[in-house]
Amino acid sequence: MADEKDRQEIIVAEFHKKIKEAFEVFDHESNNTVDVREIGTIIRSLGCCPTEGELHDLIAEVEEEEPTGYIRFEKFLPVMTEMLLERRYRPIPEDVLLRAFEVLDSAKRGFLTKDELIKYMTEEGAPHSEMAALENLPRKGPLGKTM
């Protein structure tokens, strides 16, 4: 029984460390706060993939009663710890993503063109504007490296 409790405490301590490290990347003022717009990036960097609606609910849960545009670490930590412990918002398994990609890649080339991606993002499923679709595509920097 004590071994299980010790193991759980170790897991929680490891989660706390990972959460703190991810949070600190965006805590530009070093005051234990981050811009609310960065919360989705932080959560996803920790391996959770909530939908936009779920993300909105999570932000509402950790935001101050009078929203300031910033999230405090002490409010974020327990919510994020619980998410990790419960394994909520796990990413879609790779084999499922591959099957979905294969449906879109009807020519079996192993890639989609920029135009195909824009078409799928603007005409299929939840609609995006062309500008929003372009924002989600990787950008090429100097020497052709993806940024």
- Residues 74-93: tens digit of each pLDDT: 999 999 999 999 988 888 88
Predicted pLDDT of residue 135: 60
**What tokens were used for 48?**
């959770």
Q: Low-confidence residues of the chain, pLDDT below 50? A: 140-147
The whole-angstrom separation of Cα 88 and Cα 49 is 8
pTM of the model: 0.66
Instruction: Report the pLDDT value the prediction gives residue 65, as an integer from 0 to 100.
Output: 83
Q: What is the pLDDT of residue 145?
A: 47
Q: State the Cα angle at 130 between 97 and 93, rounded to 5°.
A: 10
**Do residues 89 and 83 make contact, with C-beta atoms less than 8 angstroms apart?**
yes
Q: 43 near 55, Cβ under 8 Å?
A: yes
- Give residue 143's pLDDT: 44
